[in-house]
C-alpha cells in the first residue's frame, strides 16, 4: 500500500512539472509566432498543449482533472503575462478547452479514442464560436480558414490518438 501511495505521489509530481511546462509553452506561443512572422495560432497550439496535458494526466490517473485545470490555467496565465488571448476572448477559449477535456472524458468511455477526441474538439469549437458570437457581437466570428482549422483538428486529434495507446 505504501508503495502505491509513493508511486502515485511521484506521478502527480511529474504531472505538476509537466503542467508548469505546458503553461509556460502556452505563454511562449505568441512570442514564437511573432518571431517567426507566421500566425502560429492558426494551428490551435492551445489545443495541442491541452491534449498533451490529457496524456500526461492519464499516466497519473488524473486525466480529466488535469485537462480541466489546464483548460483554465493556460489561457488565463498566457492572457495575464503576454496579452494573448485578449481578455474579451478569454472566456471563449477557457470554455472551448474545458469542453474538449470534459467531452473527451465522457466520449472516450463509449467509443474509440480518435472519434472521441475529434467529436470533443468539434464540440469545443462550437462552444467557442457560440460564446464569441454572444460576447463579441461586432467581432469577426471566424478568423481562421475552415480548411486550416480542419487540418489542425485532424493533426492534433490523430497525434493524440496515436500517443494515447502508448501512455498508460
Residue 27 and residue 75: Cα distance in Å, rounded?
8
Domain ranges in the chain are: 2-166
Q: Where are the alpha helices (DSSP H) in the chain?
A: 2-36, 45-59, 63-82, 90-107, 113-135, 146-166
| 40's grid cell | 502560429
Distances (CA, A) of 162 to 58, 63, 165: 14, 16, 6
pLDDT, residue 1, reads 45
Q: List pLDDT tens digits, range 100-126.
A: 999 999 999 999 999 999 999 999 999
Q: What is the mean pLDDT of the chain?
A: 90
Residue 3 and residue 108: Cα distance in Å, rounded?
29
- The model's pTM is 0.90
Residue with cell 481578455: 87
Amino acid at each position: 500500500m505504501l508503495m502505491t501511495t509513493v508511486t502515485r505521489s511521484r506521478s502527480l509530481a511529474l504531472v505538476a512539472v509537466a503542467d508548469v511546462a505546458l503553461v509556460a509553452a502556452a505563454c511562449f506561443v505568441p512570442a514564437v509566432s511573432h518571431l517567426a512572422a507566421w500566425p502560429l495560432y492558426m494551428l490551435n497550439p492551445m489545443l495541442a498543449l491541452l491534449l498533451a496535458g490529457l496524456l500526461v494526466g492519464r499516466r497519473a490517473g488524473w486525466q480529466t482533472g488535469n485537462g480541466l485545470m489546464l483548460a483554465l490555467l493556460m489561457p488565463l496565465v498566457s492572457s495575464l503575462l503576454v496579452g494573448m488571448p485578449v481578455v474579451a476572448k478569454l472566456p471563449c477559449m477557457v470554455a472551448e478547452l474545458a469542453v474538449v477535456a470534459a467531452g473527451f472524458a465522457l466520449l472516450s468511455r463509449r467509443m474509440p479514442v480518435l472519434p472521441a477526441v475529434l467529436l470533443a474538439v468539434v464540440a469545443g469549437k462550437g462552444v467557442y464560436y457560440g460564446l464569441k458570437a454572444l460576447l463579441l457581437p461586432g467581432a469577426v466570428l471566424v478568423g481562421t480558414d475552415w480548411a486550416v482549422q480542419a487540418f489542425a483538428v485532424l493533426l492534433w486529434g490523430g497525434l493524440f490518438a496515436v500517443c494515447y495507446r502508448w501512455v498508460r
